[in-house]
Amino acid sequence: MPINAQILDNPKSDRVRRVADLARAKGRERSGRFLIEGPQSVREAVTWRPDVVQDLYVEVAQALDHPRIASSTLEKIVDTSQDATIYVHRCTGEVIRRISSDAQGIVAVGNANAIRWSVEDVDLGGAPQVAAFWQVRDPGNAGTVIRAADAAGCDAVVFVDDCVDMLNPKVIRSTVGSLFHLPVLTMGTEEFFAWTAAQHMDVWAADVYGIPGREPESLPSVLADPGAAGRPKTVLFGNEARGLEPGILARCGRIVSIPLYGKAESLNLATSAAVMLMSLAMSRHIETM
């Protein structure tokens, strides 16, 4: 835990500007780094993936003659990071707020290459359960579905085709740390179907419409089908507005829809993903009880 002796107090310095610039895609591309904002996300990053974290910027209390880290919560996070080679920079509140309005006293800078998983790095185990999202565009949704997949015990998340950048700060904030809990892969559509086939996983589409000649199965029937929930599989969800294309649905082994029992016409993507992934996870658990 090398701690920079000097306290950063100039919100207009080059370093501060460069860190703040990681909120933008351009800044991340240029530097190969990304921003992790707020105590909860930073804590999960230094706990589960200290190899990803390069720098911590943490607020010190105003008495600069005896600078102390601003709170015990922040102090604990800095302590957690001490076994790894993470550079700790103490900053004034003004500097932290210039870096990010969502910092709440702490931000980390991560190495983008270290958090981007390739398929070779992912060990899925015996009966893999994967959640995949095709063309998800909204950063809040993307983060929330990573969190739901984590809660459901999925072995990996895949963003397929043209999705939002998983290192967008809004995505990371919405994962509430889950980005650092499980592998998140990005791949094209063809690569996705090749990979799931090579891993002997079925692909189930989450979709309410189906295609001509193939009505979706209702999720409760699937849950009532013994062994179905436990089979090695990827559940694939579509774009927020357009769902999944017929050409993609036709390549999926099952098409499964969430029933609506009242008058609501739909559930949004994040809610659908949570309901389907958690139901399947609980069903697997009931079968092994």
Site for a second copy in 183-222 (CB under 8 A): 219-221
CB of 95 to a second copy, least distance (A): 28
Report the residue from 89, 147, 231, 254 that binds a second copy according to the rule CB under 8 A: 147
CB of 39 to a second copy, least distance (A): 13
Is 239 a binding residue for a second copy by CB under 8 A? The answer is no
Report the residue from 154, 206, 248, 269 that binds a second copy according to the rule CB under 8 A: 154
Report the residue from 90, 181, 233, 254 that binds a second copy according to the rule CB under 8 A: 181
**Range in contact with a second copy (rule: CB under 8 A) among 81-89, 116-124, 205-213, 278-286:** 278-286
Is 41 a binding residue for a second copy by CB under 8 A? The answer is no
Closer residue to a second copy, CB minimum distance, 147 or 170? 147
Instruction: Say how far apart CA 27 and CA 3 lie, in whole Å.
Output: 25
Report the residue from 128, 177, 183, 243 that binds a second copy according to the rule CB under 8 A: 177
HEC assignment per residue over the chain: CCECCCCECCCCCHHHHHHHHHHCHHHHHHHCEEEEECHHHHHHHHHHCHHHEEEEEEEECCCCCCCCECCHHHHHHHHHHHHCCCEEEEECHHHHHHHCCCCCCEEEEEEHHHHCCCHHHCCCCCCCEEEEEECCCCHHHHHHHHHHHHHCCCCEEEEECCCCCCCCHHHHHHHCCHHHCCCEEEECHHHHHHHHHHCCCEEEEECCCCECCECCEEHHHHHHCCCCCCCCEEEEECECCCECCHHHHCCCCEEEECCCCCCCCCCCHHHHHHHHHHHHHHHHHHHCC
Report the residue from 124, 208, 250, 281 that binds a second copy according to the rule CB under 8 A: 281
CB of 86 to a second copy, least distance (A): 20
Report the residue from 3, 112, 119, 151 that binds a second copy according to the rule CB under 8 A: 151
Is 242 a binding residue for a second copy by CB under 8 A? The answer is no
Is 32 a binding residue for a second copy by CB under 8 A? The answer is no
For a second copy, the binding residues (CB under 8 A) are 48, 144, 147-154, 176-178, 181-182, 219-221, 223-224, 258-267, 270-271, 274-275, 278-279, 281-283, 285-286, 289
